[in-house]
Amino acid sequence: MSERLRAGPLTVAVLAGGRSAEREVSLSSGSGVRDGLLASGHQVLWVEIDEHGCWRHEGAVLSVTPGEGLLDADVVFPALHGPFGEDGVVQGMLEALDVAYAGSGVAASAVCLDKITFKQLMRAAGDVPQVDHVGLQEPRFRDDRDAVLEELAALGLPVFVKPAHFGSSLGIVKVSDDEELEGALEAAFAHDARVIVEALARGVEVECGVLGNEDRMASEPGEILLAGGESGWYDYEAKYTAGGMELLVPARVSQAARERVRELAIRAFAYAGCAGLARVDFFVDGDSVLVNELNTMPGFTPTSVYAKLMAASGIPYPELVERLCRLGLERWLAQTARDIGARAGRAT
């Protein structure tokens, strides 16, 4: 990496908005990233993706060419959430443009946004304990409804019914009565052809941030304390309404559980092939720790959970967003060197 890219000011294209239902959250995240980068002395190019997927910079529609980068930026920060942004689609486009970008690549982004595929991968790894769950595809539910309901009954009540590809707790329904289950499934399938049903996990909700590429660090774990107390759950309103939740850092769990959370966060990050950053969500009951989800691009306002976890671990927000950009550059330069080596090998 040149000295300028290693330590000097960067030109960063921040992508925000997008086609998903999490568009407004993305705009807030992108604004936070922009402000953090400006505070660190970097130049920011704002690129907003509208509801139809059109990219605009300074009001003009962007036209891009494969292999020619994006607005001559050194690196792109895709502050995008949900489908059409966090699922590998935009990452693939950035790969085609041959531009460095912050965060995970195509495969890890796609795997981790799909809650079912992520859990299947963790199950295949064999040493990542998880929340009990059942993954469903709509054709099976339509064709074999009675068998599906019988399988779901084994999870007990209450359960949480979730569209497989949504983030920010959108579309999630808590079901506490058997008579509510089919309606919740129908509502979830209206959003997504793949739906996951999760058993209630006992204990407290704990979140842990991961930062790095090959050399990774796990943050101090934080505990989610809901305004509704034990009767509440971590839904969209709790996440994005002022006073809906409080993050306690460090989490009020045992030292053994704290270290287990950090160990499993890095393990899940590595198994999924993530890069740059992730937030891993857990349930902790005594010394028992269960992995629930991994988010490759968590909310990114300065007051979002990931930023707070990293700040509590000694990395203030402006430094955090800068480090993520440099990690993206590091990964791109390493891949570029591999590509050059491969072409040279074919030529000899």
Please state the domain extents for the chain.
3-102, 111-129+202-296, 133-199
Q: What is the pLDDT of residues 36-61, one digit of tens each?
A: 999 999 999 999 999 999 999 999 99
Alpha-carbon distance of 31 to 309, in angstroms, equals 19
Is 287 catalytic? The answer is no
What's the confidence (pLDDT) of residue 340? Answer: 86
Model confidence at 262: pLDDT above 80: yes
Question: 7: number of CA atoms within 13 Å, CB side?
Answer: 1
User: Active-site residue 271, yes or no?
Assistant: no
The confidence score (pLDDT) of residue 110 equals 97
Q: Is 262 a catalytic residue?
A: no
Cis before 163? omega within 30: no
Q: Is 114 a catalytic residue?
A: no
Compute the average pLDDT of residues 312-335: 97
DSSP 129: -
DSSP letter for 231, please: G
Identify whether 213 is a catalytic site residue.
Answer: no
The secondary structure element, H or E, covering residue 106 is helix 106-113
Q: How many CA atoms lie within 13 A of 124 on its CB side?
A: 8
Condensed to tens digits (0 to 9), the pLDDT of residues 222-233 reads 999 987 555 444
Convert 337-348 to b/e letters by CB count within 10 Å (16 or more is b): eeeeeeeeeeee
Q: What fold is seen in the domain 133-199?
A: Dna Ligase; domain 1 (3.30.1490)
C-beta neighbour count of 154 within 10 angstroms:
9
Choose the catalytic residue: 20, 28, 109, 168: 168
Residue 234, pLDDT > 60, answer no
Catalytic hit among 203, 232, 240, 273? 240
Active site residue 63: no
CA distance to 19, 57, 272, 346, per residue, from 119 (Å): 25, 38, 10, 39
Question: Mean pLDDT score of the chain, rounded to an integer?
Answer: 92
Third-level CATH fold of 111-129+202-296: D-amino Acid Aminotransferase; Chain A, domain 1 (3.30.470)
**C-alpha of 28 from chain center:** 15
Region 230-238: what's the mean pLDDT? 48
- Per-residue pLDDT of 246-258, as tens digits, reads 999 999 999 999 9
**DSSP letters for 191-222:** H-SEEEEEEPPPSEEEEEEEEESSS-EEPPPE
For 42, phi then psi, to 5°, come to -100, 160
Class of CATH domain 3-102:
alpha beta
Pick the catalytic residue: 17, 18, 22, 86?
A: 22
